[in-house]
Amino acid sequence: MPALRPDTLRIEPPEIFSLNRNYADSVDFLNKIREETSKKQTRRFVVDLQTTKHIGPAAGLCLVAELDRWQRINKKKLSPLTLDKWDLNVRRYLFSMGFFQLLGTRVPVSLRTKGDAMSPIWLPYFSSTIIKGTLPKILRHHIERQLGSLGDLRQALYGPLIEAIKNAVEHAYPDELLQTPDSQRVGPRWWMLGVAQPLHRRIRVIIFDQGTTIPGSLPTSSLWEDIKHMVLSRGDTDRDRIATAVQYGKTRTGLEGRGKGLAEMVGLAERDPTNHIRIYSRSGFYHVVGNSPFVSEGREVPLSGTLIQWDLQVPET
Amino acid sequence: MLEWDVAAEVYEIARKFSDTPGGRYKRLGPYSGEEFRDVLVDLLSKNEEVEVVLDGTEGYGSSFLEEAFGGLVRLKRWPVEELGKRLRVVARNRSYALYADQVSKFIKDAATHESG
């Protein structure tokens, strides 16, 4: 790496940069970037990816979101300094998801590598500040190019994706969060990534927003009056708030279908016993496998936003 | 007196509105439930009977369907009984039947709430 100025802050992701496998260190790293981005006068800083030997898609998407945020606020492009020293797989995954396009960096052909047939394929990520059904449709096309027709999963996937995007745009960013000029440059933004594993006919779809989180937004939501007793009786931790909001949506058919979106997202996991949905929001984690009962946990390091991740089996058609 | 069979106006959402329906409100993005509710109002204002075909889209989020059909009830422009006679929401393919069921529930829930 070129010599850095002495006042340069170096932020390094962990060797295993993954929300599933190394949550605390990975989120701590992401939070450090957010902290620097949020400062009135940002220091010169370097995000050094040389040390990372494994990157998970959720972590990759969060990294994209943080750097996207920094670039929009600072109206500058970041550039990778030591691309040739990055782990081959880390560079390949980031390349295929569009990371370098975000930075405006041209990756030399000599540094572009292909994965083997076992490797998951990271598809180009999407981002927007509105609900745009064409984007899940394009994602579906990308997935089907790798796996063939999704069959019934095509429609089953669309509704939960639209609801997740809707929650980000409509609920995750209350007006007070969008008051500052910095926030206005980013807007009520969401990021979405798909990963295909043709060999196993599995897909992973992830949606992330940097908003006020599910536990953070519940007390000011229209649901709160209906669910606060349930939440308080459970202990009123972040994990309780997420679990209660999902539970409420499952039993809800009434007024304007409010709160149903989360239940619809979780319902997608129930289509196959090997499906997963994971929801990370602030310090809460909610996990369902197939039809099994949910597991919810607290996390010491809070995620600055909400991340929803589905792992789905694609039926043979 | 002659009775005329009134042919229902058939409206295929995927062909005439969008194959990628959006969220609940217009201000949050294109092809929202609110936008489609306006289409329904227009169709019902101009036609005795309207048949809405759900097939052919990528799918639907519940917010879209609720705002379009539950929202139509909340507008109170037509009594629910009248809507029941003049508006048919159909799924020709089995894979869209669950959305037709959702629409029925949203209309019923909105009517229950309005009368309650």
Banded model confidence at residue A114, pLDDT cuts 50, 70, 90: confident
Q: What is the pLDDT of residue B68?
A: 98
For strand A9-11 and strand A16-17, is the pairing parallel, antiparallel, or unpaired?
A: unpaired
Query: Are A124 and A106 in a shared domain?
Result: no
Q: Domain tally for chain A?
A: 2
Q: What is the pLDDT of residue A287?
A: 97
Q: What 3-state DSSP class applies to A250?
A: helix
For strand B50-53 and strand B9-12, is the pairing parallel, antiparallel, or unpaired?
A: parallel
Q: What is the pLDDT of residue A17?
A: 98
Interface of B with A in 19-48 (CB under 8 A): 19-25, 28-32
Does the beta-carbon distance from B20 to A264 stay under 8 Å? no
Q: What is the pLDDT of residue B1?
A: 47
Look up the CATH number of the domain holding residue A68: 3.30.750
Q: Is B61 on the interface with A (CB under 8 A)?
A: yes
Show residues of chain A in contact with B18, CB under 8 Å: 133
Look up the CATH number of the domain holding residue A316: 3.30.565.10
- Give the chain B residue nearest A264 (alpha carbons): B62
Query: Are A191 and A180 in a shared domain?
Result: yes
Whether pLDDT at A44 is above 90: no
Whether pLDDT at A39 is above 50: yes
Q: What is the pLDDT of residue A46?
A: 85
Q: Which domain holds residue A243?
A: 120-317
* Minimal CA separation from B8 to chain A, in Å: 27
* Minimal CA separation from A131 to chain B, in Å: 5
Measured CA to CA, the distance from residue A105 to residue A26 in angstroms comes to: 24
Does the beta-carbon distance from B62 to A159 stay under 8 Å? yes
Q: What is the pLDDT of residue A198?
A: 94
Show residues of chain A in contact with B23, CB under 8 Å: 131, 162, 165-166, 169-170
**Average pLDDT for chain A:** 92
Query: Are A112 and A184 in a shared domain?
Result: no
Q: Where are the beta strands (DSSP E) in A133-275?
A: 190-197, 202-209
Measured CA to CA, the distance from residue A233 to residue A221 in angstroms comes to: 19
Q: What is the pLDDT of residue A252?
A: 66
Query: Are A170 and A61 in a shared domain?
Result: no
Structural domain ending residue among the three candidates A68, A99, A118: A118
Whether pLDDT at A249 is above 50: yes
CB B68 within 8 A of CB B100: no
Domain spans of chain B?
9-115
Whether pLDDT at B3 is above 60: no
Measured CA to CA, the distance from residue A309 to residue A51 in angstroms comes to: 25
For residue A258, give the DSSP letter. Answer: T
Measured CA to CA, the distance from residue B87 to residue A2 in angstroms comes to: 69
* Minimal CA separation from A152 to chain B, in Å: 7
Measured CA to CA, the distance from residue A126 to residue A188 in angstroms comes to: 14
pLDDT digits (tens, 9 = 90+) for A1-11: 667 777 788 89
Most A CBs within 10 Å, among B63, B74, B99, B103, to test the A interface = B63
pLDDT digits (tens, 9 = 90+) for A269-310: 999 999 999 999 999 999 999 999 999 999 999 999 999 999
Residue A208 bridge partners (DSSP):
A191, A307
Does the beta-carbon distance from A136 to B106 stay under 8 Å? no
Banded model confidence at residue A62, pLDDT cuts 50, 70, 90: very high
Q: Is B64 on the interface with A (CB under 8 A)?
A: yes
* Minimal CA separation from B20 to chain A, in Å: 5
Query: Are A230 and A267 in a shared domain?
Result: yes
Query: Are A4 and A72 in a shared domain?
Result: yes
CB B28 within 8 A of CB A124: no
Whether pLDDT at A257 is above 50: no
pLDDT digits (tens, 9 = 90+) for A128-155: 999 999 999 999 999 999 999 999 999 9
The mean per-residue pLDDT over the stretch A242-251 comes to: 87
Structural domain ending residue among the three candidates A60, A91, A118: A118
- Report the predicted TM-score, pTM, of the whole model to 2 decimal places: 0.94
- Give the chain B residue nearest A134 (alpha carbons): B20
Query: Are A238 and A272 in a shared domain?
Result: yes
Whether pLDDT at B4 is above 60: no
**Of A30-44, A175-189, A235-249, B67-81, which range is least confident?**
A30-44
Query: Are A84 and A106 in a shared domain?
Result: yes
Over B9-63, what HEC string results?
EEEEHHHHHCCCCCCCCHHHCCCCHHHHHHHHHHHHHHCCCEEEECCCCCCCCHH
Show residues of chain A in contact with B29, CB under 8 Å: 130-133, 169
pLDDT digits (tens, 9 = 90+) for A145-195: 999 999 999 999 999 999 999 999 999 999 988 998 888 999 999 999 999
